[in-house]
Structure formats: structure tokens, C-alpha cells
Amino acid sequence: MQRRHVLHALAAAPLLHSLPTLAQSFPDKPIKLIVPLPPGSPPDVLARIVAEGIQRA
């Protein structure tokens, strides 16, 4: 039974190490959304809608 506890603790150690990084603000720089298609194409329109939603968040 103790061996199982040790294995669980070893498995959880990397998760605990990454907790301080989760508290950082993201993004701290502007995000560039690149659509390799011409303006006005359906993927471009969709990317603009998604970008607007990301900007609000």
C-alpha cells in the first residue's frame, strides 16, 4: 500500500511544479492570427469572428 502512495506522489510531482506557471497572465503580448488565404474568403471571415471573440476575452 505504501508503494502505491509513493508512486502517486511521484506522478503528481510534475503537476505541482507547474502550478506557479498557471498563475501567469496570458497573453502578455498581442496575438497574431495568420490566415494564408485571400481577404473576404470564408476562412478569413471565420478568423475575424474568432479574433473578435478572443479580443473580448
Distance CA 14, CA 4 (A): 17
pLDDT for the residue numbered 15: 63
Q: Grade residue 18 by pLDDT with cuts at 50, 70 and 90.
A: low
3-state secondary structure the chain: CHHHHHHHHHHHHHHHHCHHHHCCCCCCCCCCCCCCCCCCCHHHHHHHHHHHHHHHC
Q: Has residue 36 got a pLDDT over 80? A: yes
- Predicted local distance difference test score (pLDDT) of residue 11: 76
Provide the mean pLDDT of the chain. 78
pLDDT over 60 at 1, yes or no: no
pTM greater than the 0.75 cutoff: no
Which domain covers residue 18, as residue numbers?
2-56
**How much is the average pLDDT of 31-43?**
91
Question: How many domains does the chain contain in total?
Answer: 1
